[in-house]
Structure 1
Amino acid sequence: MAQGRETNATQARWRRPIGWALAAVLAYAMPAMARDFDVRHYMARIEPDLQTRSVKGEVSIRFAATVDSTDLIVLDRDGLDIDRVREGERSLSFDQTGRVLKVRLPRPALRGQLREISVSYHGTPRFGLQFHPDKRQVYTLFATTQWLVGVDAPDERASLDLSVVLPAGLKAVGNGYLVGRRSLGKGKELHRWRQTVPMPAYTYGFAAGPFEEASDRGSRVRLRYLGAGYSQNDLRKLFADTGDMLRYFERRAGVPYPGGVYTQALVARTIGQEHAGFALLSEEYGRGVLGDRRDESLIAHETAHQWWGNLVTCRDWTQFWLNEGFANFLAASYMEQRFGRDEYLKQVDGWRRRYERLKEAGKDKPLVFPDWDKPSGDDRAVVYQKGAYVLHLLREDLGEAAFWNGLREYTRAHRGASVTSQDFQRAMEQASGRDLSAFFANWVYPAAPAR
């Protein structure tokens, strides 16, 4: 997750803290609520308005009860105003309080029974949907629930059918594959994408603008590049290593990239963000990479998230290091392959120094947080940089073969699922044949309370 992310020194100038980024982290840091249902599929139609910086939409949510019976469905709706909730043609009673929408079903949903409700809404997203009318750009950032009503917990995975109404003539990207694009008249077009591999809702999104477009093929995966103010040659040069990154991460994961297309888009303003099937980076960052190829670690970080974060996801935000520490470490390991051991060690040294500053300031914490409801910048440094540093230490301790075998088996075993640090520990113990409880107790888990 890009918001508030602190990585290595070469990325620092592209990742300056900004207010909406911190707010985004906090929005996603709310404690998870127990759910009596499992979302299976979203079908949404979204219409952003660039001039008013607002959005209206309707989403159908297909779900199944996970308890014997429930008549209450609780959804996230961060700042969105609910207009109507229906099941079929029947209007349902609902309550919108705080960041949640509570819907009462007229008859209880029974365990395993598929039901579907539709929610109509409108709102003015604070940061989850970014509007740049001067550039004719609109794109999503965290949090998804500022433009799509749903469940934003990382352990909730669902497929998605997303339709977005946009000004005519724009290039766009969304999750999964493009189903179609058609004119609606009056200067509007409907773009529709389908994400068939279930993904957490925080990875949903789209981006649109008057982009230049280029493409390449990295083995079996089509690579698509979008950016305004760049030529096709610029885009191909900027993302020249993307195909190699995908192949490298496939080898490390033991799992192929979960899709046929991977898109990277340069947008007006972002500190970098992964989505299912694409990544957003800033136009400024792209110009930096054109000037210095060794600035591409952020490109590798977002690409690594297609496996560690999207395909294998932390079960809740207290385990966030399993997303971000992993993406940081895997990006550095790619840079090692691409530019040599010294480049990797330079990044390791940056992690170590940041960790030592945390310790000196009394801000160090275990990688598994007791809560993640008000994370500070130092907390994020624990997750991103200490997390990556701990993976480096584990690699040095276990040796190349055991470490990479363990990472590969962990990723294979848990693809399409949510994980905890115990899952990772078990995989590394099986690969190495060693008891790693002391290592994980020292670096990963909170200390047991004194008796």
Structure 2
Amino acid sequence: MLLTRPARPHPALRFLRRPKAALLASAVTVCLVAAGAPAEPLGVGDRIFPELGNPGYDVAAYDLAFTYPGSNDKPLKAVTTIDARLTSSLNRINLDFAHGTVESVDVDGRKAAFTSAGEDLVVTPDHALPLGSVTRITVRHTSDPRPADDQDGGWVQTTDGLAMANQADAAHLVFPCNDHPSDKAMFTFHVTAPDGYTAVANGLPTGAVRTGGSTTWSYRSQHPMATELAQVSIGRSAVVRRTGPHGLPMRDVVPAADKKELEPWLAKTPDQIAWMESKIGPYPFETYGVLMAQASTGFELETQTLSLFEKDIFTEPAYPKWYIESVMVHELSHQWFGDSVSPRTWSDVWLNEGHATWYEALYAEEKGDHPLQDRMKAAYGASDRWRAAGGPPARPKPPAPGRKIGIFRSNIYDGAALVLFALRQEIGKDAFERLEKVWVQENRDTSVGTADFVRLASAIGGRDLTGFFQDWLYGEKTPPMPGHPDWKQVPPPAAASPAKKS
């Protein structure tokens, strides 16, 4: 996610940031309750979102079916089917779901009782589910595109339909799920919309069936995906196809009326992919493209294989060309860092945003003549203030209630990229570049954490870097920059004196 809502950017624009293992054994034991006990919301022990995710099972696949009524003022009809493997013996299964009406639930083809508890849908099947078994849960429900009270994200209303923005904790506002990036799964989508609309989702198309006055579009991912990265676009859209590096099939989704105007921006993506591949290796997925939505969100988002952008970022003349291209590269970078290699917990989100900011800045240096070192020196000067406001990069402060994207502060963008700059200074450019390539290759399609990055960096750097990372990732104060002892913290500008009234 990248926050891109400066009021009127200056040409010397400073970047405004938008922004499978059980985590806690105790979280799993909580789930082993008698069927008659009161239903309660559960979580997997995430420090930032304690009730996010659910213990006791691992989702293998989601099959999501949505029927769009042709307007955004009423809910979509939906069916969510979940295939999961039990990692504990369960009498009850918790799913995250908080913004729709559940009509029925089946477990392994048999009707199951259900109720709500907090933001959980609590399902009680008519039979116990033993450890190691595979179960299928089918939920018939509605999915409401109207904004939820005190919530960020989920369905985004566009001028001609809908898109999704589920980061960080909002997929469960759209469909029942295990809404945590530690539990990645395969996805299949079926989206039915009236004639005149086009539906596109993550992955590759598997068919389109027209019946009467509507069409059902189907898509399937070829790689596991976190729930926060799911994307469904429904609109009066044009799908622009082209071929990327190594024959990569690409498709962009844009408002049909703006296709010609937006084409010069769309045409830049293949070269941007080739640039990223030159830095860190092969693109990790089956397809890529950008979704330009007619919506005002204040951010861009790296939904897997189909990154979400506000259309206006490409048409607003106040945004410099180099800035727009670097924003495109930021979201593209996330396909490796955050999508293919996902965070194990939300405290590990610096690995997503720090790396995306790093390659965004490196691209701006190589293609736009904006030196990386200048940006890092400026970030160093502000780093202590960012840590005080948002926490250290790997220990971000929790967001305010109902404001889940509040974790996306400067400390996990330029603050985290500054950690990577310090690491390159510490171990040398060659070792750093090797680390980046090995990191995405070894951890493809998994969820990993900060400790994994520290171990790999130490192995490739040839020495124990635990202390280095402890200071840079968790310290309240920013350590001295290796190779730049002259870099100092810069105090904030003094507030202007209030004008006197005459």
With the length of structure 1 as denominator, give the TM-score of the two structures.
0.86
Amino acid at match of 1:110: P
Cα offset, 1:183, TM superposition? 1.6
Deviates more, 1:297-306 or 1:434-443: 434-443
Alignment of 1:348-427 (within 5 A): 348-358=376-386, 362-363=388-389, 365-369=391-395, 372=398, 374=400, 380-427=409-456
How far, CA to CA, are the matches of 1:3 and 1:53 in structure 2? 29
14 and 214 in structure 1: CA distance in 2 versus 1, 3 angstrom threshold? farther
Cα root mean square deviation, aligned: 2.9
How far, CA to CA, are the matches of 1:103 and 1:89 in structure 2? 14
What residue is the counterpart of 1:61 in the other structure?
Answer: 82
Q: Is the 8 A contact 2:4 2:16 kept in 1?
A: no
Alignment of 1:3-402 (within 5 A): 30-31=49-50, 32-33=52-53, 35-49=55-69, 50-67=71-88, 69-125=89-145, 126=147, 127-132=153-158, 135-142=159-166, 143-185=170-212, 187-219=213-245, 220-228=247-255, 232-259=259-286, 261-269=287-295, 270=297, 271-288=299-316, 292-295=320-323, 296-340=325-369, 342-358=370-386, 362-363=388-389, 365-369=391-395, 372=398, 374=400, 380-402=409-431
Q: Is the 8 A contact 1:157 1:200 kept in 2?
A: yes
Query: Structure 1 unaligned runs (5+)?
Result: 18-27
Q: Is the 8 A contact 1:71 1:107 kept in 2?
A: yes
Cα offset, 1:411, TM superposition? 1.5
Q: Is the 8 A contact 2:67 2:192 kept in 1?
A: yes
Cα offset, 1:377, TM superposition? 5.2
Whose strand fraction is larger, Structure 1's or Structure 2's? 1
Whose helix fraction is larger, Structure 1's or Structure 2's? 1
Cα offset, 1:75, TM superposition? 0.7
Cα offset, 1:392, TM superposition? 1.6
Matched residue count = 429
Cα offset, 1:239, TM superposition? 2.9
57 and 381 in structure 1: CA distance in 2 versus 1, 3 angstrom threshold? same
Deviations 1:417-450 (A, max 9, x none): 1111111111111112122122101111368xxx
How far, CA to CA, are the matches of 1:5 and 1:35 in structure 2? 37
Cα offset, 1:200, TM superposition? 0.7
233 and 337 in structure 1: CA distance in 2 versus 1, 3 angstrom threshold? farther
166 and 332 in structure 1: CA distance in 2 versus 1, 3 angstrom threshold? same
Cα offset, 1:224, TM superposition? 2.2
How far, CA to CA, are the matches of 2:5 and 2:444 in structure 1? 24
How far, CA to CA, are the matches of 1:291 and 1:440 in structure 2? 35
Q: Is the 8 A contact 1:59 1:148 kept in 2?
A: yes
Larger radius of gyration: 2
How far, CA to CA, are the matches of 1:56 and 1:11 in structure 2? 44
How far, CA to CA, are the matches of 2:73 and 2:13 in structure 1? 33
Cα offset, 1:378, TM superposition? 7.8
Cα offset, 1:89, TM superposition? 4.1
How far, CA to CA, are the matches of 2:228 and 2:390 in structure 1? 27
Amino acid at match of 1:315: R
With the length of structure 2 as denominator, give the TM-score of the two structures.
0.78
How far, CA to CA, are the matches of 1:431 and 1:140 in structure 2? 38
Query: Structure 2 unaligned runs (5+)?
Result: 20-46, 148-152, 477-502
257 and 289 in structure 1: CA distance in 2 versus 1, 3 angstrom threshold? farther
